[in-house]
Amino acid sequence: MAAISKIRPNLWFDGQAEAAANFYVSVFKNARILSVDDISAGPAEGNKIVTFELEGLSFTAFDAGPNFKFSLAVSFEISCDSQEEIDHFWRKLGQGGQTQQCGWLQDQFGLSWQIAPAELPQLMAKNPKAVMEAYLAMTKIDIAQLRAAAQQG
């Protein structure tokens, strides 16, 4: 078993921890379930704690009831090297969720992701105003349009 990160995100679910972990593992190439354990005592007794890994980052998903929901205040950014990669994550993570401006989406479990091109900082440095205007007009990111905006003027 891989070493568990000293700091890792803990994701609170209401009876969907194992389903969510399995979904996320299916979306990422370098991903795996590390453990699935039953909660054997306390208020969440009978539910699950799932430890999983996505691209080397360890997560814990646990079923703890309906008290808290995900919000846009916390999200995970996926830095993509190609349009094909952006399209893959957008399609997979967006299934059953909600899309938003600037490459943001909430997946079917309510967790927020930003699907962004790795080259965005370089494109912004070339022509900040034009790239930002193009970026703000997008839902799913189109790298070719951002590159064209960076070349304007």
CATH of residue 96's domain is 3.10.180.10
Helix, strand, or coil here: 107?
coil
11, 42, 147 from 78: Cα distances, Å = 17, 35, 19
Q: Which residue has the higher pLDDT, 32 or 47?
A: 32
Q: Is residue 4 part of a domain?
A: no
pLDDT higher for 129 or 38? 129
CA distance 46 to 16: 13
Domain that holds residue 16: 10-63
Helical spans, DSSP H, in the chain: 17-27, 83-94, 120-126, 128-136, 143-151
Q: Would residue 33 count as lying in a domain?
A: yes
Tens digits of residue pLDDT in 86-144: 999 999 999 999 999 999 999 999 999 999 999 999 999 999 999 999 999 999 999 99
Provide the pLDDT for residue 4: 60
At residue 63, does pLDDT exceed 80? yes
**Residue 68 within a domain:** no
Tell me the one-letter amino acid at 8: R
